[in-house]
Amino acid sequence: MATRRGFLAGMMAAGLPRIGWAAAGSPDFLAAAKAGEAYELHGLTAAGDSLFAIPLPARGHAAAAHPVRAEAVAFARRPGTFALVIDCVAGTVKARLTPPEGRQFNGHGVFTAEGGLLMTSEVVAEGSLGRIGLWETETYTRIGEWDSGGIGPHDMKRLADGRLVVANGGIETDPKDRSKLNIATMRPNLTLLSPEGAVLEQAVLEEDLHTNSIRHLALMGNRVAFAMQWEGDPAEPVPQLGLWQPGQAPWLCPPGEAEAFAMKGYAGSIAAAQGLVALTSPPGGVLMVFDAAGAPLAVHRRADLSGVAPGPEGLVATDGQGGIWAVEPEGLRLLARHNLSWDNHLVALA
């Protein structure tokens, strides 16, 4: 690993030409959308204006923004076998990533701080064992992989010191039809990996919540907020938000019973900014706001809300009717509306 890290550092220090995000209009967010029968990746401003729209071959999920160059990696909706590296200035596909034989991308990826390495969440198709694919980013060549520490990894976030937090959802799925095969025995976890890929720590839920699949993450410094999707009895209200400080046990943040039922057991996206945490539920048509300690503050209702991300002036959310909203404890404030259907996630460029 030391040799590979040295190679990557040398590539970044070589003074190769770079075209930064200013050349693409300095977007604040990336978001996948459906436009009629077509699919696109958009660059959005904090006010909700679209700076560019780049075609995708199929429905997108999340994206990863290169920290230096105006490049985005658009991931297929899971389980998918494509990830497109897009030049957001030229609007062209720079590279198409394909996982190794018998693998599938799982919707998310993240760059290292200097941008020399892309890490992708993947599963072994048979059995759903998790892998983190490693790609150097000058030619986007695969150079290795790590064990994710569990089954069905989905979202992951890089801490400031280079450690990686992985949400292992715990669900084994059929590689062809996505049917769930192990609900009775699933065991989701949060795994903390070192910058070299070693498992440093894992956090699991209490046994009676072992069917609460950990899916998406937001960072508050070195603390992790995580969003879950309940695979148990739908008549049982359970929290969809948890918090974890590495070195401690995770703790869950239950709202009132009525609000818990409003989520319908499903958290679609999560984000944190300015002491607030937002959690969306597309099937419930709600967005819940919590404080940084996990205490519920508000419930906002809007059909098909899903994407949410931290922006320069606070939290911003998107919905399936093309709306882009500022999220405030008092309510949702419309920023813009487009003739589009925004998909699951809104990704901040930060």
Place of tokens 């148990």: 232
293-347 per-position pLDDT tens digit: 999 999 999 999 999 999 999 999 999 999 999 999 899 999 999 999 999 999 9
Q: What is the pLDDT of residue 54?
A: 95
Instruction: Check whether 17 has a pLDDT greater than 50.
Output: no
pLDDT band for 79, please (50, 70, 90 cuts). Answer: low
Which residues, in sequence order, are CB contacts of 256 under 8 Å at separation 6+?
A: 296
Give Cα separations from 285 to 237, 258, 266, 273, 288 (angstroms).
16, 14, 10, 21, 10
Instruction: Check whether 42 has a pLDDT greater than 70.
Output: yes
**CA angle, 77 as apex, 8 and 212 as ends, to 5°?**
95
**How large a percentage of the chain has pLDDT more than 70?**
94
Which has the closest alpha carbon to 128: 190, 165, 197, 179? Answer: 179
DSSP three-state, residue 11: helix
Q: What is the pLDDT of residue 111?
A: 98
3-16 per-position pLDDT tens digit: 334 433 433 433 44
Which has the closest alpha carbon to 152: 187, 185, 119? Answer: 187
> What is the model's pTM?
0.92
Instruction: Check whether 27 has a pLDDT greater than 60.
Output: yes
Q: What is the distance of C-alpha 67 from the center of its chain?
A: 16
For residue 203, the surrounding DSSP H or E stretch is strand 199-204
- Which two tokens mark 287? 């967005």
pLDDT band for 34, please (50, 70, 90 cuts). Answer: very high
pLDDT band for 78, please (50, 70, 90 cuts). Answer: low
> Which 8-state DSSP code applies to residue 266?
B
pLDDT band for 31, please (50, 70, 90 cuts). Answer: very high
Q: What is the distance of C-alpha 325 from the center of its chain?
A: 19
Q: What is the pLDDT of residue 226?
A: 98
Q: What is the pLDDT of residue 198?
A: 98
pLDDT band for 1, please (50, 70, 90 cuts). Answer: very low
Q: What is the pLDDT of residue 292?
A: 96
